[in-house]
């Protein structure tokens, strides 16, 4: 895939390191998982802010192999949501506005 699609543009052939992203081209439904993964990671991080990491990680890991929506509800108490990320972004924007107005 690299040699066919990238090498003509970059002038480098047979570069396995650069081909690590080739899955983007042949697995079109793979890319949306990145955004969902970032949302879930942020949601877990947000949940853990005021908690004991070791205790919570052990609890979350013990939930086992269950459906993702069931796991996230049991892990953080709600469904997958961008709300924590959006709320923190709004807080950051407000702080920046306050700094520029000061």
- Number of C-beta neighbours around residue 72 at 10 A: 21
> b/e for 79-91, b at 16 or more Cβ within 10 A?
eeeeebbeeeeee
- Paired tokens of 47: 């949940």
Q: At what angle do helices 68-76 and 32-48 cross, to 10 degrees?
A: 20
pLDDT at 31: 73
Q: What is residue 1's predicted lDDT score, i.e. its pLDDT?
A: 74
In whole angstroms, give the CA distance from residue 2 to residue 26: 12
Q: Which residues of the chain have pLDDT under 70?
A: 17-19, 21-22, 25-29
Q: Please give the sequence-ordered ranges of beta strands (E in DSSP) within 1-102, or none if there are none.
A: none
- pTM, 2 dp: 0.69
User: What does the domain layout of the chain look like in residue ranges?
Assistant: 1-30, 31-101
pLDDT of residue 59: 97
């Amino acid at each position: 895939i690299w040699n066919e699609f990238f090498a003509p543009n970059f002038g480098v052939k047979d570069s396995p390191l650069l081909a690590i992203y080739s899955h983007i081209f042949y697995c079109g439904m793979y890319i949306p998982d990145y955004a969902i993964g970032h949302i879930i990671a942020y949601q877990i991080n947000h949940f853990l802010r005021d908690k004991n990491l070791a205790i919570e990680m052990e609890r979350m890991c013990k939930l086992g192999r269950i459906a993702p929506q069931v796991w996230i509800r049991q892990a953080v108490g709600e469904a997958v949501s961008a709300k924590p990320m959006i709320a923190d972004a709004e807080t950051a924007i407000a702080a920046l506005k306050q700094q520029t107005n000061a």
